[in-house]
Amino acid sequence: MDINTLSLRARSVLIAVVALLLFTPAAIFTLDEAYKASLTQATLQQLKLNSLMLISEFEFDNEAPSMPVSVRDEQLNLTDSGVYGYIKWQGELVWRSSSSLSIPVPLLPSPPQTGSEQFSEQDGLFIYIFTAEFAHSEGFSPVHFYVVYDKSSFDQERESFLKALWQGLLLLDALLLLSLLLGIKFLLKPLNRLNREIAAASDGTKGLVSSDYPIEITPLSSSINQLITHEKQQRERYKNSLSDLAHSLKTPLTVAKGEAGSLPQLIQPLNEIESIIQRQLKRAATQKPGWHAPIPVKAIAQQLLSAMAKVHAEQNLTLINNIADGFTLPMESTDLMEVLGNVLDNACKAANTQVSIYSEDTSATRDVIIEDDGPGIKEQDKQTLLTRGKRLDTYQEGQGIGMAVVSDIMASYGGRLAIESSASGGASIRLSFNRLTTLTGQ
């Protein structure tokens, strides 16, 4: 897919999706880290309170450390509560909370200096240590208070937060994309209206496009109107000039033919000159025909087939019209009749039993195909006719009269003429009209 041809809507959505793909993980990472820091700080404060409670209940009794059977913090009394307390004195573990009796004693880090605290994470545990001094017979003695917190509940809370965060942000992303699509639709509304007006102007149902557009689009609409007006004026001047030229040549040519009455050898050259002049005038008249209302093809094709049935009645041909209903081409009706008439006439001359005409409509082209079941055209002749500049009316003796005009008219409408082979072995003439160059708006 070419990025240069990507629609404005697709570009906007692509930019938004890329931005969200970058923003959403970054936002989740940032918020997760902030939540983790906040949760860790809250855990630290709780462990400090647990430690202060242990310090308040600790004492020396008869020179030995003493703690009550049950402490005031129920978490330290309940088995497997996830909060465990330990007290070390003189390097020995002198007390452990009831909550820790069902688990082995973890590896407790070295304690800090007296009056200092230490907080660390180890093997899925938060460990808070505070060293306090107590009066003893030998003086003040440091006692180390450990409060251990199992991180499993911490991690579960964090995972729940992450899950809710992902769900919330994904929902927000979907709402943002929906809002963006609605915004793009509103933003492109003037361009869509301009496109419809151009299509209406191209099919002849509208003269000029409107001027009530946003200031960013107004110069474009003005330029389009100038182009349409200039094209119409230029085409009108061109036709007038051609008409003047035709009348200017008609009288001298008529006089020359009259004077050549006594010289029969000049009649044929003068007739050829007159034919050439008429052909070139018609060719010039059809150059860049501009904007035309599309005309239905099926009715014209049927009219021509009826005429061909009478002209070639002795051949008793089967003439088939498979042009789709509603199929149109943006051409002058006279040009379309001349193109189809010449090709159908040649097909009838070449056919053995049958001639068919049908349409093909794709996103890129609108094609008319005329096929016969005659002897066909040799492959080397096809290439010669299409690439070496020879006229198409030379492809087979007795056929193709007017095919040079067909080629010229097709070129003037931005169309192409291709010579192919039909399924029955005869000739297949494809008249292909590019949607983009004809601006049909269909």
pLDDT for residue 275 is more than 70: no
Average pLDDT over residues 252-259: 72
Mean pLDDT of 8-28: 88
Question: How would residue 404 be classed by pLDDT, with cut points 50, 70 and 90?
Answer: low
Show me where the domains of the chain are located: 9-157, 218-285, 295-438
Share of the chain above pLDDT 90, in %: 39
At the top level of CATH, the class of 9-157 is alpha beta
**pLDDT, the chain, mean:** 82
What's the pLDDT tens digit per position in 38-65? 999 999 999 999 999 999 999 988 888 9
Q: What is the pLDDT of residue 388?
A: 37
Looking at 1.10.3470.10, 3.30.565.10, 3.40.50.300, 3.90.1330.10, the CATH number of the domain 295-438 comes to 3.30.565.10
Least confident of 66-70, 163-167, 192-196, 201-205: 201-205
How confident is residue 414, by pLDDT bands cut at 50, 70 and 90?
confident
- The region of weakest confidence among 250-254, 280-284, 398-402, 434-438 is 398-402
**Residue 70 to residue 89: CA distance in whole angstroms:** 20
Ranges 274-283, 284-293, 342-351: which has the least confidence: 284-293
pTM value?
A: 0.51
pLDDT for 281 equals: 63
Q: Give pLDDT, residue 53.
A: 93
Q: What confidence tier does 133 reach under pLDDT thresholds 50, 70, 90?
A: very high
The confidence score (pLDDT) of residue 284 equals 57
Residue 195: per-residue pLDDT: 82
- Which token pair is 222? 């003005």
Report whether 201 contacts 193 (CB < 8 A): no
* More confident: 396 or 355: 355
Mean predicted confidence (pLDDT) in 383-388: 52
Report the 10 Å Cβ neighbour count for 118.
16
pLDDT digits (tens, 9 = 90+) for 58-111: 998 888 899 988 898 889 999 888 999 999 999 899 999 999 988 899 999 999
Exposure letters 207-242 (e unless 16+ CB within 10 A, then b): eebeeebeeeeeeebeebbeebeeeeeebeeeeeee
The burial class, CB within 10 Å (0-12 / 13-18 / 19+), for 345 is buried
Given a cut of 70, whether residue 204 has pLDDT beyond it is no
- The dihedrals phi and psi of 328, each to the nearest 5 degrees, come to -130, 160
User: Which position has the higher pLDDT, 295 or 34?
Assistant: 34
DSSP state string for 243-312:
HHHHHHHHHHHHHHHHHGGG-HHHHHHHHHHHHHHHHHHHHHHTSS------EESHHHHHHHHHHHHHHT
Average pLDDT for 202-214:
75
